Structure 1
Amino acid sequence: MKTRITSLLISFLLSFHFQLSFSQNIPEIPDFLDPEDLKNIDCKCLEKEVKYSKEDQRYIDILWGESLKYLNAFVIALTTTPEGSNCIDSDVATYETVDGFKKMCIMDRRDMQLMVKHIYQILHNPETAKKCFAARKEVDWIYSPSKELEEKSEVAQWLDRMTFEEFFNTKVTNQEVMEYGLDFSKNFYEMITGDGIKTPPNFPYDVSAKALPNLWAGVGWNPMYAEDSERNKRNFLNVRGGYAYAEILGHWGLLRIDEINGEKVGAEVGMVVQAVNTLYPYHNHAISELYYTMRQPACTNQFKTFAIRENNDKLVTVKETKDERIVQFDAGMPNEHTMWSSSSYDRDPLVYFHENTIHAFEVDGNCEAKPAEGALVTIWARSDAHESLNDYGSTRLCECADKPNTPAVRGKKIQCQLTKLKH
């Protein structure tokens, strides 16, 4: 009994110390926010508040604390103007690559302003927002990606989620995808903690798995393309087994808020890992999205990004319906290689994709000393998940125009389905 009381006391003191130090380190809010909007918020959760025992609450507090640190650093990065930029309270993002690399002040976008406002409301009212936070132990489609990662986290051990190894062995029927997935799981820990992992300089502190081990181990990861589906006929097998994302804030994450002060919350914030020697296929979705690269590449141009907006004249419309526009793009143009930008944690780390932007990621593994342990690791977010067209099922993979329902490869003509947005 004495040991139990001591443990609970330590847990309370740690939680109190974190809340105190965290509240003292919340930065000044950007000028586009009204301080009055951050006071005494009213939160409507997407599910009923989950009650935990005193023993379990200790683990929730740790996970909650690291989640707040991640979100805090994220909004500081988005609203900090890099040296040499003319932006105001804003980082700089690349948003299109095919006609030269086009950049913008990311906080000029209204969806980004709303996302930042909602996160600041959470940060300034942590106890209110925490009522919408849960470990989601009962969810059977998010997993522990690595036994080695789990061993570094008492929270992950308490959660005891199914591992990627179990998932790929029991839920994946394609043998090649299974093999890629088991290799992905085996090397996941090194992928997210290796020497190349670096937090972008616009962040005030490290948010990687090395600094926030309980969050990265316990958040719950989803290998969203691994299982067979109609959509995955257009995907590459090594991507299906070598890609996963996790969501901290959002409709499918740990912190699930429907509304703040009567305003819908569409923000989704988390992280993504993509193995090397893969091309995340050309695809598009009706929701806008951003990524921060958080790794130093092993060689120049290792992490390449393609982005073409829906109104670019290089897209040719071949068919239209009331709900979609089908377009084609020639990825076999002589100068196609110049249509991909490259990034590093400290060089153009931020990309932003407007609604219906066709985009892809290619990760070179030829320059890796240990390619099995190499991956593109990113901080990731979406902004309008509350809209009906913006769930993960609306992500549309493009196809080879000459061979429908096969993956669109570089050097060929690709065909994509763009959603007609309704306002």
Structure 2
Amino acid sequence: MRKKKMIGLGVAATIACGSAQAADFKCQDDVKPRQYSSEEQKLVDQFWKESLIYLDEYLKVLQTPSGQCPDSAEATIQTYQSATGKQQNRCIMRYRDMELLAKHLKAVVAEPEKAKACFDPQKDYPAFALYTPSAKVQQLSPTAQWLKRPLLTDYYTKMGGDIGKAGLELNENFVAVTSRTDTRPHWKRDVSINGLPTLWSSVGWIPFYAENPAAGSDRFRGGYLYAEVMGPWGNLRIKEIDGEKVGAEIGMTVQLFNTSYPYHYHHPQEIYMTLTKPQCIDQNRYMVMHWDSDQFTQERKEKGWQVAIDGSQGKWQKWFANQDPDKEWLTYFERNAIHAFYAIDGCNQTIENSGLVTVWARSTAQDNEQSTRLCRPAVGENGPKGMLPGEQAICDLHDWKP
């Protein structure tokens, strides 16, 4: 019998760290003690090592001056504002939620062994299904092979139809899509699948909209994935540090080319960092505008607001900006900000040269409503199936607790 090694999970402990006061970590309740053989522990350790690099680099990027910001990265918070006809930017670390996110990431980086107590590779995770995109992705890492998650290629083959077709196109070519990245402008280390293959192949991927008929076109529903490295449903599940709620939720997203992610919104603040190197300037576009923008029409409803969006007659074009990993690379969505991602027009797009890959995060993952809310067609439930930016939409916003 192979010798088993116990690692302490799901515990709160305080360990002295030199002369500095050590932080107190409390894991999520569902992080349980696990037993691994020495061989298995090596696989878990590699997964943890690359996860820690990812989080450390994320912290550094947030705090590195860019744009007009002397002490942090500069983020786009609106791609269009009527008063100036231009986008609106802000130094991202001037938001209180981002200060807390950075504070907690610093604690993780400073005391990795304690943080590791809250790390779960999510092998046979019971809460919901987690997938690996394809057998090719699984072969990138012995850890991914050991986790042996179900394959999304099998999932979409079984689903069939246009959703299944798009899902197969993305997941069979997942390595090609996610490899077309350029992290050099802002990252000291390559955090993409090229630099961290164990992380990207071992993290659990979720076909978020595949079974949601309200999510626009079938191609988008099959062509969108996200994964969570840190957060309430990710690998590193920390509930509190020194009695403070940990709101950091950090992962990655992948969107297939020739798809439109419809207008949507949510209570948690959200951050996107673009990694994809575009073939041409308008290959991948996005928009974010505050829900009370005068470009929209607002009507007060019980416990919220109804916001009407009309991007017809080309009006939507001025709302959208071009994404790239150099200049238009970082965006911060405030609470209930309305946003969308559009990867349809542009240059000669093929599976080999396009897609949209981002580092994704939320900063308040334990307060208010966490659900992503899709806007709906303004012409009724049976309105335009594509839910494209130039079509009319209604967003039913809920109030949040301050």
Fold match, TM over 0.5?
Answer: yes
Pair 1:43–1:405, CA change in 2 (3 A): farther
| Residue 92 (structure 1) aligned with residue 80 (structure 2) | no
Aligned equivalent of 1:181? 167
The residue identity in structure 1 corresponding to 2:246 is: V
The residue identity in structure 1 corresponding to 2:229 is: I
Aligned equivalent of 1:414? 393
CA contact (8 A) 1:39 1:125 kept: no
Tell me by how many angstroms 1:204 deviates: 1.4
Pair 1:38–1:220, CA change in 2 (3 A): farther
The secondary structure found in structure 1 opposite 2:335 is coil
- Paired with 1:405 and 1:41, the residues of 2 have a C-alpha distance of 53
Aligned equivalent of 2:147? 159
Aligned equivalent of 1:224? 208
Q: Which runs of 5+ in 2 are unaligned?
A: 5-16
Tell me by how many angstroms 1:200 deviates: 5.1
CA shift digits 1:379-399 (9 cap, x unpaired):
110011111412xxx211111
The residue identity in structure 1 corresponding to 2:50 is: E
Aligned equivalent of 1:112? 98
Aligned equivalent of 2:236? 255
The residue identity in structure 2 corresponding to 1:192 is: T
> Equivalent of 1:202, from 158, 166, 186?
186
> Equivalent of 2:312, from 332, 338, 356?
332
CA contact (8 A) 1:97 1:341 kept: yes
CA contact (8 A) 1:79 1:91 kept: yes
Tell me by how many angstroms 1:261 deviates: 0.7
CA contact (8 A) 2:310 2:393 kept: yes
- Paired with 2:19 and 2:289, the residues of 1 have a C-alpha distance of 36
CA shift digits 1:54-110 (9 cap, x unpaired):
22111010000000001111110000002xx44242101111123221111011111
Aligned equivalent of 2:130? 142
Name the TM-score, length of structure 1 as normaliser.
Answer: 0.85
CA contact (8 A) 2:314 2:390 kept: no
The residue identity in structure 2 corresponding to 1:89 is: D
CA shift digits 1:187-220 (9 cap, x unpaired):
1111112xx3111522211111111100000011
The secondary structure found in structure 2 opposite 1:129 is helix
Pair 1:334–1:209, CA change in 2 (3 A): closer
Pair 1:369–1:400, CA change in 2 (3 A): closer
CA contact (8 A) 2:284 2:346 kept: no
CA contact (8 A) 1:38 1:124 kept: no
- Paired with 2:153 and 2:20, the residues of 1 have a C-alpha distance of 43
Aligned equivalent of 1:22? none
TM superposition outliers: structure 1 runs of 4+ over 6 Å? 35-38
Pair 1:251–1:68, CA change in 2 (3 A): same
Pair 1:177–1:372, CA change in 2 (3 A): farther
Aligned equivalent of 1:42? 24
CA contact (8 A) 1:95 1:104 kept: yes
Aligned equivalent of 2:296? 315
Pair 1:361–1:36, CA change in 2 (3 A): farther
> Equivalent of 1:353, from 316, 333, 350?
333
The residue identity in structure 1 corresponding to 2:150 is: M
Tell me by how many angstroms 1:405 deviates: 5.7
- Paired with 1:363 and 1:37, the residues of 2 have a C-alpha distance of 52
- Paired with 1:369 and 1:233, the residues of 2 have a C-alpha distance of 26
Tell me by how many angstroms 1:305 deviates: 0.9
- Paired with 1:364 and 1:296, the residues of 2 have a C-alpha distance of 16
> Equivalent of 2:269, from 288, 295, 298?
288
Aligned equivalent of 1:133? 119
The secondary structure found in structure 2 opposite 1:136 is coil
CA contact (8 A) 1:200 1:293 kept: no
Pair 1:385–1:131, CA change in 2 (3 A): same
CA contact (8 A) 1:368 1:374 kept: no
Name the TM-score, length of structure 2 as normaliser.
Answer: 0.89
The secondary structure found in structure 1 opposite 2:117 is helix
Aligned equivalent of 1:74? 58
Q: How many percent of aligned residue pairs carry the same amino acid? A: 37
| Residue 402 (structure 1) aligned with residue 399 (structure 2) | no
CA contact (8 A) 1:198 1:294 kept: yes
After the TM superposition, which of the residue ranges 174-183 and 339-348 deviates more from structure 2? Answer: 174-183
* Structure (1 or 2) with the greater helix fraction: 1
- Paired with 1:124 and 1:143, the residues of 2 have a C-alpha distance of 31
- Paired with 2:106 and 2:339, the residues of 1 have a C-alpha distance of 29
- Paired with 1:126 and 1:307, the residues of 2 have a C-alpha distance of 35
Tell me by how many angstroms 1:365 deviates: 6.4
Aligned equivalent of 2:284? 303
Pair 1:366–1:309, CA change in 2 (3 A): closer
Aligned equivalent of 1:362? 342
The residue identity in structure 2 corresponding to 1:309 is: H
CA shift digits 1:104-149 (9 cap, x unpaired):
1011111111111111100101111101101111125110012112
The residue identity in structure 1 corresponding to 2:71 is: D
